[in-house]
Amino acid sequence: MHVERTFTVSRPAEEVYDYLVDFSRTEEWDPGTVSTTRTSGSGGVGTTYRNVSTFMGRTVELTYTTAVANRPGRLEFHGRNKASSTKDILTLRSTGPGTTEIHYRAEFRFHGVTKLLAPLIVPLKLPALADETVEQLRGALER
């Protein structure tokens, strides 16, 4: 299951990339994130983060790894815990002087018992969460 959005911000692609490559900044733009802490690496491919989020009243902890870091065009972060795997994929494209189009795709795979229950509940909440994420990310980038 996945959700994706495309939107434009008033920032050059290089600045957007430099902001997003530090996944610990999810605290500023991801509405579900409670905390994100870098646990290893220098910010490039292979860097790991401990992310604690809330979703539908539950606290969830995932370990994220930077899987793709191609400045200024693409970032990919993979998260995992016992119950789920995620991919956050951000594609950046300059659309003119000082503006960037961001295509954001979040993919979710569930494991174990969660695999049976998640398809019944998660799709009902994802669109609103994606819209809120876009608004918070836009706000963080344009401050």
Query: 6-15, 26-35, 107-116: which has the minimum mean pLDDT?
Result: 107-116
Each domain of the chain, given as residue ranges in start order, spans 2-141
- The pLDDT value given to residue 111: 82
Mean pLDDT of the chain: 93
Name the band, by pLDDT with cuts 50, 70 and 90, for residue 120.
low
SS3 143: coil
Q: Is the overall model pTM greater than 0.95, yes or no?
A: no
CATH number of 2-141: 3.30.530.20
Residue whose C-alpha is closest to residue 91's, from 106, 79, 80: 106
Dist CA 143 CA 134 (whole Å): 14
Q: Is the pLDDT of residue 124 over 90?
A: no
89 vs 96: CA distance, rounded Å: 22
